[in-house]
Structure 1
Amino acid sequence: MSTPTAAPPAPLVLFARGTIARLALWPALRVAVAENWGGPPATSAQKQTWLASVLVDAFEPALISSSSSPDPTPASPTPTPVSTPATEAPDADYVALTLLQVLEDEFDAVLEDGSADTVAQEIVGLYGSIARGEPAAEARVREWEARAETWRGKKVQVQEVVGSEEEWESEEDEEDEEGEGEEAPQLRDAGAEARSRPEPVVDEDGFTLVQGKGKGRAPR
């Protein structure tokens, strides 16, 4: 007979909910998933879920440590050895680096708008609020979840930079511009520059045809 698995601590569950919701609100990740930059639709969505699990796993030891409430009056208090450091949560720099690395490795996109820092700071801030047992933590998570549900299926305004030369914005309804502080992400497709440059075409006279801007040819 199998032993039932213990339910995860409530603080960890709340943090996981908040992390999932906050990532769902991140325009850069929403674009990457919606445009299937991480592969087929199911694969891209799975990568978003996987990213949330990576962050939750990174914070789990610190959350479990902070949620443990030792007996305030133990019969035989045992001092903590100096050589054993307290469990520390990842900082905002670690979280931001993780976000950027996953976007580049899994979605082939380079983010250049600084929004990863904002997301990282808010996730770390949520951890601190939960670790301190603040009632506002659950209210914040509920707010993020409500906004994520509202934005589900909506398109995101994008500025994509191909190499260092081209920049464009996708068509977007004006009503979707109310991003509550979320600006259009600036994403650079790491492989788009090579794909966007056509191979030179040489005519029978030995001239290279110039493509893209009208008709013409230039000597080789």
Structure 2
Amino acid sequence: MASIDPADYVEAQDDSKSLRFGDEKQQAKFELGVCMAIYKWEELETAVVNSWGGPKSSEKRDWISGITIDLFESKVVDVALIEETLLYAMFDEFETQVDNDSALYIADLIIKIYRQVSAQDYKLVDELYEKWQAKQNSKQAHDAVNINPDPQNPDSSDDESDNMEDVPALTEGVKNIDVAEPQGPIVDDDGFELVQKKGKQRRN
């Protein structure tokens, strides 16, 4: 990792009191870039996947993206401020103390994103978004493969437990299937009861 200057900052130009972009496309690209940077933070991803923040861990990650974007409503933002915001949010929302420089790296990335978007250069944002999309598609494909039973070990309890979360989706398509009602004895024209070959009859 290249050396990062925590004091590096961006400042609103002219008489602007905010770093917010006046152009809607620029602002949208910047907000997307911040979200992609936050999603790139592996420590936060681990916290979300393991629900360290409770059942709404994913929503908390989006909230962190929101408060980071809000920092740029002020006139000056530096790397250290973003890093501090990320670390406090992780501690408060996920009860996780991050003791490496990962938050510093994400903070520096967000400053880089701001500078490039300010120059109407969206290459970095688009690359981050494409990588995120590829990761999501790969994850969905992996989950789809896991739904299929293992032909070598169809009764594996591990497979059953791993796919429990997929049960509602799998059963969705069978809700409207008509189930035949049990039939009584079948009698022919001569009054003889016919033996039914399929199914088991319960004896009274």
Question: Where do 1:32-71 residues align within 5 Å?
Answer: 32-40=47-55, 43-61=56-74
CA positional deviation for 1:9: 2.0
Give 1:124's aligned amino acid.
I
Structure 2 residue aligned with 1:139, among 123, 139, 144? 123
CA positional deviation for 1:60: 3.6
CA positional deviation for 1:8: 7.1
Structure 2 residue aligned with 1:18, among 29, 33, 45? 33
Are the aligned partners of 1:51 and 1:102 in contact in 2 as well (CA < 8 Å)? yes
Q: Where in structure 2 are there 5+ consecutive unaligned residues?
A: 1-21, 141-204
Are the aligned partners of 2:36 and 2:132 in contact in 1 as well (CA < 8 Å)? yes
Structure-1 separation of matches of 2:91 and 2:23: 31
Structure-2 separation of matches of 1:95 and 1:33: 20
CA positional deviation for 1:134: 3.9
Task: Tell me the TM-score normalized by structure 1.
Answer: 0.50
Structure-2 separation of matches of 1:96 and 1:148: 22
Structure 1 residue aligned with 2:104, among 97, 111, 117? 117
Structure-2 separation of matches of 1:140 and 1:45: 24
Task: Tell me the TM-score normalized by structure 2.
Answer: 0.54
Give 2:42's aligned amino acid.
P
Matched, 1:100 2:87: yes
State the structure with more CA Rg: 2
Instruction: Determine the structure 1 residue equivalent to 2:135.
Output: 151
Question: Percent of pairs identical after alignment?
Answer: 26
Structure-2 separation of matches of 1:146 and 1:29: 20
Question: Where do 1:176-215 residues align within 5 Å?
Answer: none
Are the aligned partners of 1:23 and 1:52 in contact in 2 as well (CA < 8 Å)? yes
Change (3 A) 1:8 1:130: closer
Task: Provide the alpha-carbon RMSD of the alignment.
Answer: 2.1
Instruction: Determine the structure 2 residue equivalent to 1:28.
Output: 43
Are the aligned partners of 2:26 and 2:120 in contact in 1 as well (CA < 8 Å)? no
Change (3 A) 1:8 1:51: farther
Q: Where in structure 1 are there 5+ consecutive unaligned residues?
A: 1-6, 62-86, 155-220
**More strand, by proportion:** 1
Structure-2 separation of matches of 1:150 and 1:96: 27
Give 1:9's aligned amino acid.
E
Q: Secondary structure at the match of 2:97?
A: strand
